[in-house]
Amino acid sequence: MAEQTVIEKKPLFRPFNVIAGIIIIIGIPLTYLRFTGGLGAITNLDNNTPWGLWIGFDLLTGVALAAGGFVTGAAVEIFGMKKYHSALRPAILTGFLGYALVVFALLYDVGRPWRLPYPFFVSQGVTSVMFEVGACVALYLTVQFLEITPAALEWLGAKKARIIAVKLTVLLTILGVLLSTMHQSSLGAMYLIAPSKLHPLWYSPYLPVFFFVSSIAAGLSMVIFENTLSYKYYKYKMSKEHREARDGVALGFAKACSMVLAGYFAIKVFGIALGNNWNLLFTGYGLWFQLEMLGFVLLPCFLFAVGVRDKNLKLIRWTAGLTVFGIFLNRLNVSLIAFNWHLPLSDRYFPRWSEIAISAFVVTIGLLAFRFIVTHMPIFYEHPDFKEEH
C-alpha cells in the first residue's frame, strides 16, 4: 500500500503549474470585469446569438463528456459488470467535477446569476424544457456528490458515515441514470425551438435522441481518455489491481463505444432521410457535416472495432481522444457553427479572446480540483481500512 500513499516530490515550476498559474492570473481580473461590467464587457454575445462559446463548450460539451459517471455506474452497479469496478470512482469523480464546472460556468453565462434558484423557488416554469434541464442537472450534481462521498469519508476516516453512503450506492446509481437520460436528451430538445436558425443537416425532431446516444459514446470514450492521462501522470497513486484492470476497461469500453457509434451513425442517416436533405450533403455545410460524420463518428467506430479485434490498446486510446474531440465538434456545430447559418459572416458570432480565456479558466480549476482529490483521496486505489468492503 505504500506504493499508493507516497506522494512524489516534484518541482513547483513544472509546465502544467506555470500554464495553470498564467490562466488563473488572467481569469481572475476577467471574472471581475464580467461581474462588474456585465456580459458585454468581455463577450461578443448579441440578440442574434445570446448563447455562445460558454453554452456550446462549457455546458453542452461539458455535460456530454461527464456522462462517463452514469455509464460506468450503470455497467458496474446495475448490470453487475464488476470487472470494470476500478474505473468507477475515477469516472464518477470526472462526472462530478464536470457537472460542478458546468454550474460554475453558468454563473458567467447567465445575465443575473444570483437568480439561478428562481425557477425552483419563485417562478416555476415546469412546462419549459430549460426548467427540466436545470432541475435535472442540479439534482444529478447532488447525486454525483453523494456517489463520490464514500471516497471522501474514507479519507476522513468517518467509518459510520461511509457505511450509510455505501448503502445508498445502487439507489443513487439508478437515480443518476434516470436523471442523465432526461437532461442529456433535453439539451438537444432546447434547439427544437430554432428550426429556422439551425442548419437542416443538424436540425431534426430527433435531436434529443441524437444528444442522448452521442452522450453514451462520449462517456465511454472519456473514461478511456481520462484513464490514459491518469495513468501517465498519477501511476504512482494507482494500486496494482487498478493498473492491471485498465487494459480490460479500455477493451470493454472500446467495444461498447464502437457499437454505440455505429448506432449513432445509423440514426443520423435516418435523420437526413426523414428531412430529405440529401441534396445538402454536397454544399459547403454539407461537406463540413460529412467531415463530422465520417471523420469523427464512422472512423472512430471502425478504429475501436479494429483495436478490440487486434487488442491494440494504443490505437484504442488514441481513438478515444478522437471521439472526445468529435463530441466537442458536434456540440459546437449545433450551438455555434451551424447556428444562424443563414446570416452573412459579418453578422455571425465569434467568441472574444476573453470568452476563450474564461473557458480555459474554468477547465483549469477543474484540473486542479481533480489533481488535489486523486492525490489525497482513495480514487485509484482501495483504502486499506476498507479494502475488504469494496
pLDDT in tens, 297-319: 999 999 999 999 999 999 999 99
- Residue 9 falls within a domain, yes or no? no
pLDDT at 142: 93
pLDDT at 4: 46
User: The C-alpha cell of 263 is what?
Assistant: 448506432
Q: What b/e string do you get for 79-108 counting C-beta neighbours within 10 Å, with b at 16 or more? A: eeeeebbbbbbbbbbbbbbbbbbbbbbbeb
pLDDT in tens, 328-370: 999 999 999 999 998 888 888 999 999 999 999 999 999 999 9
How far apart, in whole angstroms, are the C-alpha atoms of residue 285 and residue 266? 20
How far apart, in whole angstroms, are the C-alpha atoms of residue 155 and residue 380? 13
Which domain, by its residues, includes 346?
Answer: 14-381
- Residue 213 falls within a domain, yes or no? yes
Confidence (pTM): 0.92
- Residue 5 falls within a domain, yes or no? no
- Residue 1 falls within a domain, yes or no? no
pLDDT at 129: 82
How far apart, in whole angstroms, are the C-alpha atoms of residue 209 and residue 189? 9
pLDDT at 170: 93
Q: What's the CATH number where 255 sits?
A: 1.20.1630.10
- Residue 389 falls within a domain, yes or no? no
Residue 86 confidence (pLDDT) above 80: yes
Number of domains comprising the chain: 1
Phi, psi (rounded to 5 degrees) for 204:
-165, 145
- Residue 352 falls within a domain, yes or no? yes
DSSP label at residue 50:
S
Mean pLDDT for all residues in the chain: 91
User: The C-alpha cell of 225 is what?
Assistant: 481518455
pLDDT in tens, 27-68: 999 999 999 999 999 999 988 888 899 999 999 999 999 999
- Residue 2 falls within a domain, yes or no? no
Residue 372 confidence (pLDDT) above 60: yes
- Residue 201 falls within a domain, yes or no? yes
Residue 390 confidence (pLDDT) above 70: no
